[in-house]
Chain A
């Protein structure tokens, strides 16, 4: 039965990750996009734990959800994308 519980958790995580990926690419706000990439990283972290890879999970958690999000947030501020939406980015 453990097997199937794991499968269900995996299914849930995969669903969250795929939708986060879609949101990251389709949403109009850049901020939402960055947040969804972080959510994706978190999902991946949990999945790595499920797959018995604690080292990788830790790295993904620290690097993917932490550092990478920090870099992207800095990018948002440096690129002036916090306010403008995707559509309005180049309308001057």
Chain B
């Protein structure tokens, strides 16, 4: 039963994370979802080295335990956890910048801003018919709204 529970937990975290990443409309929640998915993957990796009745691979009372769990996945999970936190910090930093650049943390809104900025910066070559993207804004509006700092906090 134990493996059922553990694998259900790990796979559950992984899938909740990935689904949350796809479904969230808020960029900050997407970061949280990534953190959750990573936790699930780490747990899966650790489970790959578990042994029934095994002890932690540490010298105690003059000898190593006779049955030990596999130390290799443990070392790899250690590495993966630290990698994960580095990426998480970078994601947060990028989010802070996203808010400065586009003034929003809503996913769709940010994508619209991005496409507008790109179209404006790269518009060099236009022989193909201009397609209306589903994200294109309706009606007249300034190409790039100037957003004051801290506007959405008020």
Contacts and interface: CB of A to CB of B under 8 A. Distances in A.
Q: Is there a contact between chains A and B in the complex with CB atoms less than 8 Å apart?
A: yes
Interface of A: 3-4, 6-7, 10-11, 13-14, 17-18, 21-22, 24-25, 30, 33-34, 37, 40-41, 44, 47-48, 51-56, 59-60, 63-64, 67-68, 71-72, 74-75, 78-81, 83-84, 86, 89-90, 92
A79 B29 contact: no
A75 B93 CA distance: 8
Contact of A90 (B31, B32, B58, B152): B152
B55 A52 contact: yes
Contacts of A37: 32, 35-36
B104 interface: yes
B136 interface: no
A30 B105 CA distance: 13
Interface residues of B, number: 52
Contacts of A86: 26, 29
B92 interface: yes
Contacts, number: 146
B12 A51 contact: no
Given A21-B36, A71-B85, A7 B5 contact: yes
A60 B16 contact: no
Interface in B32-58: 32-33, 35-36, 39, 42-43, 46-47, 50, 54-56, 58
Contact of B81 (A6, A7, A54, A60): A60
Given A25-B36, A52-B55, 8 more contacts: A25-B24, A30-B28, A40-B39, A47-B9, A51-B50, A68-B88, A72-B32, A92-B151
The binding surface of chain A is classed by DSSP as: helix
Given A14-B5, A56-B81, A68 B35 contact: yes
A68 B49 CA distance: 25
Nearest to A11: B5
Contacts of B13: 17-18, 21, 40
B92 A74 contact: yes
Contact of A33 (B5, B9, B29, B92): B29
A22 B32 CA distance: 11
